[in-house]
Amino acid sequence: MSLPYRSVVYIALGPRRIRAAREYATELAVAGARVLLVVADHPGWTGEPVADGVTVHRLGARNLRTALRAARRYLLAADGPLANADLLLAGDAEAAPIGYAARRRFPDLVVQHEPSADPARRTAEADLAVVTPWYPSPNDPFAGAFVKATTDTVLGADLGRIVTLHSESWLFPAHRLTGKVVRVAFERELDRTGGLVVEDTPEGELTRVAIPYLIGGNIVPWVQAQIERLHATLPTGRIEAPLIHAHTGHYGGVIANALARDDARIV
């Protein structure tokens, strides 16, 4: 991963994006960046070491409320790690309040939710669009493997440009006031950054969009959130493809039906 940043702080305060934090921190370190990985005290951080070039700072807090307080004290101090950092990665929903506060505290600091070489890049028009809430990602390389396999079967079939739209759930807990703070901060950060990463893949182009999802919440608001976030990130607000392959009716199908062009065929 080639990024123009040499000092990176990566925050992951929850237990659900530990794999992504390890993968991204390792890639950044291999590329030559100094990476400080700030984590809460979750069992997922025990055992397997991180890569050389990555320094891990444990906040010593399992409770999200205390982890947020400890992270604020450590990171937002005038002489804290963020004072000289080039890039802050708020790598899970629980870290969003720190990202939001850091953006205000250090105006020159770049804040992202995932590392992206071209954060301004947006989804291109396509001949075939694949819409799915599951797809292999740094956080779960096995999720949606069947979607990727299905797309692979049409490679070389002269279908033109293929784009995959992956609405990836970023889960966070409903901890009363703390959960509400996380949700508001996360949604504000996504509104500011777009909450997406667009990259080239062997299948064509992949757009991965972060979707806030409250653990234990109703499925209907989650589906609506996917529609709203994809609508906000697509350049025209709709899926610019004449053919859409939507995975499962009550997820991909609902999204495709809401965002497809009038002339599009949905499979």
State how far the Cα of 251 lies from the Cα of 260, in Å rounded to an integer.
14
- Amino acid 232: pLDDT: 94
62-116 pLDDT, tens digit each? 788 999 999 999 999 999 999 999 999 999 999 999 999 999 999 999 999 999 9
Q: Is the per-residue pLDDT at 205 higher than 90?
A: yes
If you average pLDDT over every residue of the chain, what do you get?
91
State whether the Cα torsion 255-257-260-265 is positive or negative. positive
User: Alpha-carbon distance 193 to 114, whole Å?
Assistant: 10
| pLDDT band of 1, cuts 50, 70, 90 | low
- Can you tell me which residue has the tokens 């990836």? 168
What pLDDT digit, counting tens, does each position of 31-53 carry?
A: 999 999 999 988 888 766 678 88
| Three state DSSP letters for 41-73 | CCHHHCCCCCCCCEEEEECCCCCHHHHHHHHHH
Give per-residue pLDDT as tens, 128-162: 999 999 999 999 999 999 999 999 988 877 888 99
